[in-house]
Amino acid sequence: MILSDKYKAGWGRWNTLSSLFTLFIWFIRGLFFRLFWRSSKGLVLIGPSVKIISGHKLSVGKNFIIERGAEINCICSEGIQLGEKVTIGSYATIRPSNLYGGAVGMGLKIGNHSNIGPYSYIGCSGYIEIGNNVMMAPRVSLYAENHNFDSIDVPMKDQGVATAPIIIEDDCWIAANCIILSGVRIGKGSVIAAGSVITKDVAPYSVMGGNPAKKLKTRT
């Protein structure tokens, strides 16, 4: 029992030191990355294999974290603006424009104390604004555009897209595997259940679920 306790204590110290070393490397990487951004404040932590394109259009607030393998494409007309204590989860993608040509998208604004969950996709070719204290679970997808398909004589990929903004107001919780489509506003304090597809505006303090999502109850 005594040996077991010593082993656990030693293992705990090793984990702590390993974590501190990892954060130190992320900090050093952040010092380099931020040299190429429009603006940054406070602490910046950058995980391995992170990709940031056209960082001169990226602005971040204090205590910004972007985790392993995430990608931020900043080729857009409005830029990418991230508030204080924003975290971009592992392998999440923020993409307003296609790297291989086509129209330039609008961009993204995120308020303070909000996060993008791991493996999420933020398609901000139309403008997307996410408020303060918004929790986003893994594999959430936001699409601020739709492909046009009115003509049956022209391939859909050649008919262009129609964009419309997505607004997520303060203090919302977007659970795992949700899809939010263009032109939608999610009201303050709402909860979107896992796997839901949001196609219409959501009133403040609503709890939504299903495909397409329907109101399950009101938090008030």
Active site residues: 147
- Per DSSP bridges, beta strands 166-168 and 71-73 are unpaired
Q: Rounded to 5 degrees, what angle do the CA atoms 71, 76, 80 make?
A: 60
Instruction: State both tokens at 46.
Output: 């950058």
Closest by alpha carbon to 111, among 140, 81, 71? 81
Per the omega criterion (within 30 degrees of 0), is the bond before 212 cis? yes
Instruction: State both tokens at 132.
Output: 């303060």
DSSP state of 143: E
What residues have CB less than 8 Å from 20, skipping those under 6 apart?
A: none
AA identity, residue 17: L
β-strand partners of 122 = 94, 142
